[in-house]
Every structure is written in C-alpha cells, then in structure tokens.
C-alpha cells in the first residue's frame, strides 16, 4: 500500500501519516503550509514526519493542477489517497470566502482529475465535516439525513466536495468515501479550535468567549479515535460495484456521545487548576447549537469504536500543550478552583 496524503502537515494529516509510517507504509505527503494559523506548528509536525525514511514530501498547493499531475507522474503506483487539505474554520469563511472556493472546491476538483491518471488507485478517501448537517434539528446526525441547508460557506464547500466525489465515483473506476469529522481535538491540534483557545486564555488570565450563552454541545472526538477510524476506512477492501450508488459512501467519524461545552471547560479547569473567566456571548453566524454523530454505519462497516472521553483526552492535550510551549504548569496556577 502506497498512500498519498494531502494536508500532511495539518492536524489530522500529521497523525494519520505518522501512524502509517510507523506501520512501515510508504506515505507521500503534500501541504502548502499556509498561514491560516502559526506555520511553525505545521513545520514542527512535518519535521517529525521527515524522520521516517518511508516518507516523502512536496510543498505544493492543491489549487495547482499541474503540481498535482507532477506528483502522479513521479508516483504512478499510489494505491490509496487520503485528501485532508482544505481551508478550515467556519467563522473564517465569513472573512475570506474566496479561500474556501479555491481550496475546498477547485482544489478538490483538481485532485479528482489528477488521480484519474493512476492505474493502481484502489480507494479515494476525503475529509468532509459535521458542519454539512447545517440547520438539521434531528439528533443524532445521520448520513441518511438531508444536507441541503448549510449555515456557513465552509459547510457549503464541504458538501460540494461530497457531490463532486459522488459524480467521479459514478463516472470513473475508483470508489470514493467521505468522512464527516466531528470536532476533533488532541495533541498537535489547530490553534483555532476551542481546546487551544480556552487553554491559552486560561493560562494567560484572559476571558474565554462562550457563545449562545453557554448552551452549546459538541461531539468532541479525540484524535486517536479519529486516526483509528480513518485508517480502518482507508484499509477497507473496496471494489467497483455495478450500482453507482454503492461506489460513493459517507461515514460519520465522531465520538459516541455529545458533551456540553461547559462540561468541556470544567474538565479543562480541573486539569489546569485554573478557574476560567467566562464571557458569555450570543450565537455566532454560521454556528449550530449541538452536534451529535450517529456512527452506527461506521461501527458496522469497519468496526469504528471511539473510546476516549473528555476526562481522558483533555489532560492528554494539556500535557502536550504545556510541553510544546514549554510552560510550567506550576507557574500558572494563579487561581485555584473552588472545591
């Protein structure tokens, strides 16, 4: 198996790549190392991957079709592709919508087209998002639900990627699979995610913005569970079906339960030994109050079994954060939590 991973220096891409490399799999990665968040974090992830002799890396942007074609020419024996490169972030899509059109629509299309030249490609797996469920009110979110009411441009572009993948799996030989990720967190995570934002604020005695007056719930999913589910899906034997509907599949990759945002903050408080200063704010445009994943099909088809609770995952994230930023926990315990 030879795996091509786009967004290899990203949060999920780094973790999946490292797991495959440890197993001895050849991994070909690409990333444009953009400055959506601190590039030094991406470089640090990448440097860890470069320690493996079975890893090769190309610094390119997937919006360049010619650059992608060059990789296919140099590596014609790629058997599996995991497409994780994208412009992330719901709120940022209100600021720079064109970045989402370029990366998540044009970039996705470029990759689908470039991969057509590979004779040995067995499976194309790509990242979608729980945000595609948009205005749906039924919980938990099921892959059988309608997803035609996106609440952000980010969600709309991820849904567009699903539709393009469905089309290509119908027209061409390679089966495609979309993974709708639910609020992934953990070591080496993105600085624009709540675990990162809250921890940094608490350590620096700043207020935490909590939207919808704290009435928010998320299907927080620890990175190790996400990696396990992603790899199980990639390795799932797939063959071309006569029924075109069966050549494109979508799965939810989330935890088996949703957590209240305030409970998430309380675990952070307990872990850090710091009382959070909370600033309640109204609901943000493009946001949803609750996300809960129906993972029954993921369990059925590739034995997906997330097991990491926030009581376990948050302390592991905090331990990494303090080590990465070389912060002494003891020097930041300015406010003890009331028992």
Q: What is the DSSP string of 271-326?
A: HHT---EEEE-PPPTT--SB--B--HHHHHHH-------HHHHHHHHHHHHHHHTT
Q: Is residue 69, in this structure, part of any structural domain at all?
A: yes
| Residue 184 phi, psi dihedral angles, 5° rounding | -80, 135
> pLDDT class for 72, splitting at 50, 70, 90?
very high
| Angle, CA of 284, 287 and 291, to the nearest 5° | 145
CATH number of the domain within which 172 lies: 3.40.50.720
- Summarised one tens digit per residue, pLDDT across range 12-31 is 999 999 999 999 999 999 99
pLDDT at 235 over 60: yes
Q: Is residue 239 assigned to a domain?
A: yes
Write down the pLDDT at residue 244: 64
The number of distinct structural domains making up the chain is: 1
The residue-averaged pLDDT of 58-63 equals 97
Q: What is the pLDDT of residues 282-305, one digit of tens each?
A: 877 767 778 899 999 999 999 999
DSSP three-state, residue 81: strand
330 in a structural domain: no
Give burial (CB, 10 Å; 0-12/13-18/19+) of 336: exposed
% of the chain beyond a pLDDT of 90:
81
Does the residue 192 lie in any domain? Answer: no
Q: Which residues on adjacent β-strands are paired with residue 12?
A: none
Residue 33 lies in a domain: yes
The partner residues of 272 in beta bridges, in order of sequence, read: none
- What are the tens digits of pLDDT across the range 246-259? 789 999 999 988 89
Q: Give the three-class secondary structure for 179.
A: strand
Is 70 exceeded by the pLDDT of residue 333? no
- pLDDT, residue 328, reads 59
Residues classed as catalytic: 154
Give the single-character DSSP code of 27.
Answer: E
Ramachandran sector of residue 145 (left: φ over 0; alpha: ψ -120 to 50; beta: rest): beta
Go through 82-100 and write b for each residue having 16 or more CB atoms within 10 A of its CB, e for each that does not.
bbbbbbbbbebbeeebebb
Query: Stretch 154-168: mean pLDDT, rounded?
Result: 96
- The pLDDT of residue 286 is 64
336 pLDDT more than 70: no
Better pLDDT: 15 or 333: 15
Task: Say which residue, 329 or 327, is predicted with more confidence.
Answer: 327
* CA pair distance 50, 44, nearest whole angstrom: 10
Say if residue 75's pLDDT is above 60.
yes
pLDDT reading at 174 higher than 80: yes
According to the model, what pLDDT value does residue 153 have? 94
Averaged confidence pLDDT in the chain: 92
Torsion of Cα atoms, 134 then 135 then 139 then 141, to 10°: -30
Instruction: Report yes or no on 108 lying in a domain.
Output: yes
Q: Which residue has the tokens 């952070």?
A: 268
Give the pLDDT confidence of 177-195 residue by residue, as tens digits.
999 999 999 999 999 999 9
pLDDT band at 199 (very low <50, low <70, confident <90, very high): very high
Q: Which of 88, 82, 89, 118 is nearest to 230 (CA)?
A: 82
Range of the domain at 124: 2-185+221-253
DSSP code per residue over 317-339: HHHHHHHHTT--GGGG--SPPP-
Q: Does 207 score more than 90 pLDDT?
A: yes
- 339 domain residue, yes or no: no
| Residue 170 counted as domain residue | yes
Q: Which helix (H) or strand (E) holds 19?
A: helix 11-22
């Amino acid at each position: 198996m030879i795996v091509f991973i786009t967004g290899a220096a990203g949060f999920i891409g780094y973790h999946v790549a490292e797991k495959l490399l440890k197993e001895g799999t050849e991994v070909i990665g690409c990333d444009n190392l953009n400055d959506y968040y601190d590039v030094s974090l991406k470089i640090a992830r990448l440097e860890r991957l470069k320690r493996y002799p079975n890893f090769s890396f190309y610094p390119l942007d997937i919006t360049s079709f010619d650059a992608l074609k060059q990789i296919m020419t140099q590596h014609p024996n790629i058997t599996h592709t995991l497409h994780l490169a994208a412009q992330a972030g719901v709120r940022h899509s209100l600021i720079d919508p064109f970045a989402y059109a370029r990366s998540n629509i044009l970039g996705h299309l470029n990759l689908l087209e470039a991969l057509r030249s590979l004779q040995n490609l067995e499976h194309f797996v790509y990242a979608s998002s729980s945000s595609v469920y948009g205005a749906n009110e039924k919980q938990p979110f099921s892959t059988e639900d309608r997803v035609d009411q996106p609440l952000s441009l980010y969600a709309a572009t991820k849904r567009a990627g699903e539709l393009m993948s469905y089309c290509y799996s119908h027209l061409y030989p390679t089966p495609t699979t979309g993974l709708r990720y639910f609020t992934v967190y953990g070591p080496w995570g993105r600085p624009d995610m709540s675990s990162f934002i809250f921890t940094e604020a608490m350590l620096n005695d700043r207020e935490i913005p909590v939207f919808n007056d704290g009435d928010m719930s998320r299907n927080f999913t620890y990175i190790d569970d996400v990696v396990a589910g992603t790899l199980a899906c990639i390795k799932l034997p797939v063959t071309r079906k006569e029924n075109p509907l069966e050549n494109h599949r979508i799965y939810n990759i989330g935890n088996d339960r949703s957590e209240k945002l305030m409970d998430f903050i309380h675990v952070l408080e307990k872990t850090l030994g710091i009382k959070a200063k909370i600033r309640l704010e109204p609901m943000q445009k493009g946001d949803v109050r609750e996300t809960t994943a129906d993972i029954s099909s993921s369990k059925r088809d590739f034995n997906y079994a997330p097991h990491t609770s926030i009581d376990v995952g948050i302390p592991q994230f905090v331990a990494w954060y303090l080590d990465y930023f070389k912060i002494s926990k003891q020097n930041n315990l300015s406010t003890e939590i009331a028992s």
